[in-house]
Amino acid sequence: MNRKTSDIWSHFTIIDNTTFAKLSDNANNIKRALSILKLKHFGCFAHTLNLVVQGALILESGLLEKIKTIVSFFHRSTSANNKLNTYQINNGAKEPKKLFQDVNNSPKGLTVDEWKITKELCLVLRPFEEATRAVSGDKYMTASIVIVLSQGLKNVCDELLNQNYDPRVNNVLKKLLSGMQDKDRWGNIENSKTLVCCTFLDPQFKNVPFTESHQQQTKSDIIELITSIISNTSDNEEQPIRISTLPNDSNTFSIWSSINSKVAQVQPVGTNTSKAIIEVQRYLEDGLQPRNTDALKWWKDNKYNYPFMSQLAKKKLCCLGTSVPCERVFSKAGY
């Protein structure tokens, strides 16, 4: 697989310095191939969420199979489906169980306790569905919300454990939390420098999602990256065209001497690092943008206010949090 991946890159003339991260699902063969190629790899966050949820729902596999059987029955039977639709329209039947009894070979229905557990499981899994939908968008950047979603899911699960749910549902919740703490499955999301950088560069979040110590480290990392950009920009800039003046002669009186002395006094003498610090500090002091702000458009509109940070944002914010958009394109193409 690593040989095939390398051949594809050669065919499309994709070179290493044009990419800084590779995104794929969490299959071991994919991760192994990218490791052999010595490429930075990010696992699809949506796939990670699915693995965590599926691992927790194993505890209720019997109930899920029962529900699947009932759903499949109504999908296969036109008569049963018509009766179900009639019931939903006339939602006032005193004996809804007759809907199952009037149809031949109907599956056994759920008990009262199973209905209660199913309803509570839907409430528990709803935040995971919301997170999956959010990170699977294809009209906005998604890498910057991975850490935010990760923290949000953990906090919600902790809150749900304090609800008066059935013990079986609480067991599923604990399994979900355990899955999000498993480094082999969940990974070390909040310590990923690329994801941290993307979150910091999103004007909706900046350094808010991080702890105080993590904020300082992240700020230092961003300043270092921007300093490098400033250094490269300074090296590649053409020397400005200067107005020619007469040779510097003590006996010559120049019309430019007074303005030259004033300009020399106001020329910035800061280092590249100090310039980066000033730009980052101004960015942090600027207010957070409203939720659903198009961060890429924001950086385009503010590139003159943050000339060097905008270059970093242009490079880093192209990173995706999930491979779902790519898979969606392949599905539409018929693959």
* Contact assessment for residue 316 and residue 201, using Cβ atoms and an 8 Å cutoff: yes
Q: Higher-confidence residue: 12 or 328?
A: 328
Global pTM? 0.76
**For the segment 212-268, what is each residue's pLDDT rounded down to a tens digit?**
889 999 999 999 999 999 998 865 554 444 444 445 555 567 787 788 777 766 655
Containing 43, the helix (H) or strand (E) segment is strand 41-43
* Contact assessment for residue 144 and residue 198, using Cβ atoms and an 8 Å cutoff: yes
The dihedrals phi and psi of 270, each to the nearest 5 degrees, come to -70, 160
Q: At residue 11, does pLDDT exceed 80? A: no
Angle (CA) 73-78-83 rounded to 5° is 85
d(CA 178, CA 154): 10
Share of the chain above pLDDT 70, in %: 74
**For the segment 172-210, what is each residue's pLDDT rounded down to a tens digit?**
999 999 999 887 777 778 888 889 999 999 999 999 999
d(CA 101, CA 268): 86
Share of the chain above pLDDT 90, in %: 43
**For the segment 258-294, what is each residue's pLDDT rounded down to a tens digit?**
887 777 666 555 689 999 999 999 999 999 999 888 9
Query: What does the block give as tokens for 200?
Result: 């910091």
Question: What pLDDT score was predicted for residue 84?
Answer: 73
What angle do helix axes 146-161 and 167-181 make, rounded to 10 degrees?
150
d(CA 213, CA 221): 13
Distance from the first to the final alpha carbon of the chain:
19
Query: What does the block give as tokens for 171?
Result: 């067991």
Dihedral sign from CA coordinates of 79, 81, 82, 87: positive
Confidence band of 44 (pLDDT split at 50, 70, 90) = confident
* Contact assessment for residue 245 and residue 256, using Cβ atoms and an 8 Å cutoff: yes
d(CA 155, CA 167): 19
Would you give the DSSP letter of residue 286? Answer: S
